[in-house]
Chain A
Amino acid sequence: MEDDKFKSLFSNFEPELSSDFRFMNKLQRNLNSVELVKQHIAEVRSRSKKAVLIAVIVGFIVGFLFSLSLPYLIDAVSNWQLTLPSESILNTFAKNFTIIAWLVIGGTSVFAAINTYEISFSLLKPKETSAY
């Protein structure tokens, strides 16, 4: 019985709502804004993927070019090492030159890749068309 009274109370509840037309119009405008944001996010993701690819390629090329010169540098340092006193810091440097050289090559490649990413990302930005 009480259940019926509650059901009757709420089934007869017809509040004055704002116009359906206005509500749907406002929703459509909001959804248009959502679409714009989604498009922007997709565009940024695409740009980022391309910039990462370019950065990887550039980093690889830089590393490859530097490593081509490595055998010549190792030879030169080995010859130079012969002229150094055995207990000097320079001798220690010369002994570990290969490791240091690879670290420098790696660091340079990463540095080149990061900078290439930043530059590519900004250059790949779509040109904003003028309103005029």
Chain B
Amino acid sequence: MTREQFISHVEATQKAFRRFLVALCCGDTSLADDIAQESYIKAYLSCDTFSNLDKFNAWIFKIGYNTFINNKRGERLTVGIDDAKDITAHDSADSSFAYQDLYEALNRIPAKERTSVLLFYMQGYSIKEIAEIQETSQNAVKQHLSRGRTHLRGLLSIN
């Protein structure tokens, strides 16, 4: 894949990808953009060996998910309560308070359930495709979806 072809694929996919990452990062657009940038760079480094252009989207989502998980593993930071009072609000967080409840609800469910729900309902991927993206079994994805729905139903009062 040439750089021009790669950029053309990125331009076609970046909006949906970043939208997914913002939800995955529970409204932190700055973090979502960082993960998106990192994911596209990783994809570019491997694009010579990637031949199935029809699956470019799913491939990017897989890289993005793994990058998000690695990022989560790296950020086990805690601050003392006295230091916490000096922390100011992240002004790069989604300033639209319309989604605040959704972000809070998503933040309260485990990352795997959150990812499965977003890939299924937001991106329209099938169970099989989600299993490939998350590198897990289809049964596991079904469980994540079921639990994620149950949790979100309670948190968002969806009847």
Residues of A within 8 A of B (CB): 2-3, 5-7, 9-11, 13-18, 20, 23-24, 26-28, 30-31, 34-35
Contacts and interface: CB of A to CB of B under 8 A. Distances in A.
A6 B102 contact: no
Interface of B: 3, 7, 10-11, 14-15, 18-19, 22-23, 27, 29, 33, 36-37, 40-41, 44-45, 94-96, 99, 102, 117-118, 121-122, 149, 152-153, 156, 158
Contacts of A26: 37
Given A5-B158, A13-B23, A16-B95, 5 more contacts: A9-B158, A15-B23, A16-B29, A30-B40, A30-B41
B81 to A, nearest CB: 31
A18 B15 contact: no
B121 A9 contact: yes
A34 B44 CA distance: 9
Contacts of A13: 19, 23, 99, 102, 122
Contacts of A10: 23, 118, 121-122
A34 B41 contact: yes
A7 B14 CA distance: 21
Nearest to B23: A13
Overall SS of chain B's interface: helix
Nearest to B18: A17
Which DSSP category, helix, strand, loop or mixed, fits chain A's interface? helix
Nearest to A8: B121
Contacts, number: 74
Contact of A23 (B27, B36, B149, B153): B36
B159 to A, nearest CB: 8
Contact of B40 (A3, A15, A20, A27): A27
A2 B153 contact: yes
B14 A23 contact: yes
A2 B117 CA distance: 13
B125 to A, nearest CB: 12
Contacts of B36: 23
18 contacts: A2-B149, A2-B153, A5-B158, A6-B121, A7-B121, A9-B102, A9-B158, A14-B19, A15-B22, A15-B99, A17-B33, A20-B15, A23-B14, A24-B7, A24-B11, A30-B41, A31-B44, A34-B44
B14 A20 contact: yes
Given A6-B121, A7-B121, A23-B18, A15 B37 contact: no
